[in-house]
Amino acid sequence: MECVEGNPAVKRFLWRFAGAMSGYVACLCVAIVAFVHYRPVGVLAYALAVLPALPIVGLLAVFGFYLAEEKDEFQRSLFVQSMLWSTGATLAATTVWGFLENFVHVPHLQLIWIFPLYCIFWGIATPLVKLRYR
């Protein structure tokens, strides 16, 4: 994704990414303020709790749109390979930690950290995948 200027798919991806992240920050602030100050209950509590997750789900759709719109097959292949490596690493890490939680009672890993964990692995995988093609 280096040639941002010449690639309209990357440009769109970055704009959508920025939009989804801004939406996430805004929704998270709304949810925190609502829960701290108004203590909602019932359906409203569930709706407000889900609110910050919606931009993240949108972000996942942004990844899908990028894959569908990217014309450069090599860039798409790099993107997919990085995603697959980070998928494997995330599943391995959560499974290992899950068994440790069950048997050794290590501290509980909150589910909201799984997406950031995936992004960290993706950040590690991307340069390594690129390195293979140098």
Where along the sequence are the contacts to another protein (CB under 8 A)? 31, 35, 45-46, 48-53, 56-57, 60, 63-64, 67, 80, 83-84, 87-88, 90-92, 94-104, 108-115, 118
Shortest Å, Cβ 134 to another protein = 19
How far is Cα 125 from Cα 49, in angstroms, rounded to an integer? 31
Q: Which is nearer to another protein, 105 or 134 (CB)?
A: 105
Q: At what angle do helices 114-132 and 73-104 cross, to 10 degrees?
A: 140
CB of 80 to another protein, least distance (A): 6
CB-nearer residue toward another protein: 4 or 32: 32
Using alpha carbons, select from 92, 93, 25 the residue that is nearest to residue 59: 25
- The helix, strand and coil proportions of the chain, stated in percent and rounded to the nearest 5, come to 85, 0, 15
Closest by alpha carbon to 98, among 121, 120, 114? 114
- Our CB check for another protein shows the closer of 14 and 51 to be 51
Minimum CB distance to another protein smaller for 7 or for 82:
82
Please report how close the Cβ of residue 25 comes to another protein at its closest, in angstroms.
14
Distances (CA, A) of 109 to 19, 88, 95, 101, 104: 28, 18, 11, 8, 13
CB of residue 86 to another protein, shortest distance in Å: 8
